[in-house]
A and B are shown apart, each in its own frame.
Chain A
Amino acid sequence: MGLTANEFTVQFIGTLIKFAIVAGIALNIPPVMVWAERRIPAMMQRRKGPNRVGIFQFRIYGLMQSLADTIKLIFKEEVVPEGAHKAFYHLAPVFAVFPAFLIAMAIPYGPDIQVFGYTVPLSVIHVDVGFLFIFAVSSLAVYGVTIAGWASNNKYSLLGALRASGQMISYEIPLGMSLIPIVLIYGSLDLNKIVEAQTHVWTWGVFLSPISFVLFLISMFAETNRAPFDLAEAEGELVAGFHTEYTSAKFAAFFLGEYVSMFVLSCLASTVFFGGWQVPFFDVRSLDEMFGFVGVGALVGFMSLLLKAAFFMWVYVWVRWTVPRFRYDQLMNLGWKYMIPLGLINVVVTAVILAAVRF
Chain B
Amino acid sequence: MNPYLPVLIVLIFGLTLGAILSGLAAFLGPRNPRPEKIEPYECGVPTVTNANEKMSVKFYLTAILFILFDIETIFLYLWAKAFPQLGWFGVSEIMVFMVILVAGYIYVVKRGALEWD
Interface residues of A (CB under 8 A from B): 7-8, 11-12, 15-16, 19, 23, 74-83, 90-91, 93-99, 101-102, 105, 124-128, 131-132, 135, 150, 152-158, 162, 165-166, 169-170, 172-173, 176-177, 180-181, 183-184, 187-189, 239, 244-245, 247-250, 252-253, 256, 328-329, 332-333, 336-337, 340-341, 344, 347-348, 351-352, 354-355, 358-359
Contact = CB atoms under 8 A, between A and B. Distances in A.
Given A77-B32, A340-B105, A184 B83 contact: yes
Q: How large is the interface on B (under 10, 10 to 19, 20 to 34, 35 or more residues)?
A: 35 or more
A336 B114 contact: yes
Given A157-B51, A162-B56, A181-B80, 18 more contacts: A19-B10, A76-B29, A77-B25, A77-B30, A77-B31, A79-B38, A82-B38, A82-B39, A94-B18, A125-B3, A132-B77, A153-B50, A156-B42, A172-B66, A180-B73, A250-B21, A347-B94, A347-B98
Interface in B13-59: 13-15, 17-19, 21-26, 28-33, 35, 37-43, 50-52, 55-56, 58-59
9 contacts: A79-B33, A81-B41, A95-B18, A97-B17, A158-B51, A173-B73, A187-B81, A249-B24, A332-B62
B30 to A, nearest CB: 5
A180 B80 contact: yes
Contacts of A79: 33, 37-38
B18 A93 contact: yes
A56 B3 CA distance: 46
Contacts of A99: 14
Contacts of B17: 97-98, 101
Contact of A11 (B1, B10, B19, B32): B1
A337 B14 CA distance: 36
Interface of B: 1, 3-7, 9-11, 13-15, 17-19, 21-26, 28-33, 35, 37-43, 50-52, 55-56, 58-59, 62-63, 65-66, 69-70, 73-74, 76-77, 80-81, 83-84, 87-88, 90-91, 94-95, 98, 101-102, 105, 109, 114-117
Given A105-B6, A169-B66, A341-B105, A155 B51 contact: yes
